[in-house]
A = this chain, B = another copy of it.
Amino acid sequence: MDGNKNSVIRLLKYKTILLRFRILGFKRVFSENLADAAGFNSTQVRKDFSLFGISGYRRGGYQIDELLCKLNSILGKDVLQKAVIVGAGHIGTALMKYKSFESEGIQITAAFDVDPEKINREGNIPVYPFDELKDFVRNNNIKIGILAVTEVFAQEVFDTMVSAGIKGVLNFAPFKLKGSSETFINNVDLLGELEKVIYFVKSAESRLKGSK
């Protein structure tokens, strides 16, 4: 399945679009609709579907519910996904309250922090002491973790997560984690993303000045 990484990323995009179409009251969709919304061409959409055995293409388009059902089963989202957050700071807390996760079948079961003031065992999503991470992850068979601690602690926290059984990490710490090939790490670099915006604006401004 590894070679299909890009098409999987596209399938995730189609799914997001389909969910929005459904909210808007659509019942069926054409590959052209999906292509326009995703920014690809419709041949690409049909190719991706056929690669994963979705052959339901007809002149009448795809039934959105049916398509979503197939995509969910391909993407492994037919069962509720459980995840934990490590680091209950500003970013971690924002993610605990991020509504899109739950509406997509992802359940943040708990958060963990070293700071005693952040502990809240009675919360809607409880915040436990970091010491309890290992047992919690093992007992609840959790494979997905979100890392939202400062970079100084990132590697140590990551190692603990992995030793407890976490297999995939969404990392918000601006730190290149060292892990084995058995653990999937996806880095979200918020500063880097904002810096890209700044650079492109600066770059466009200098072009404008140059052409005056």
> Hey, which bits of chain A sit against chain B, CB under 8 A?
1-2, 8-9, 12-13, 16, 20, 37-39, 75-77, 81, 83, 90-91, 93-95, 97-98, 100-101, 104, 106, 143-144, 146, 151, 167-170, 174, 176, 182, 184, 186, 188-207
Q: For A93, what are the chain B residues with a Cβ–Cβ distance below 8 Å?
A: 90, 94
| Residue among B38, B184, B191 making CB contact with A16, cutoff 8 Å | B191
Q: Which DSSP category, helix, strand, loop or mixed, fits chain A's interface? A: helix
Show 5 residue pairs from A and B whose CB-CB distance is below 8 angstroms, ordered by the A residue.
A16-B189, A90-B98, A91-B94, A91-B98, A106-B198
Q: In the complex, are the beta carbons of A190 and B100 less than 8 A apart?
A: yes
Q: In the complex, are the beta carbons of A75 and B199 less than 8 A apart?
A: yes
Q: For A90, what are the chain B residues with a Cβ–Cβ distance below 8 Å?
A: 93-94, 97-98
Q: For A205, what are the chain B residues with a Cβ–Cβ distance below 8 Å?
A: 143, 167
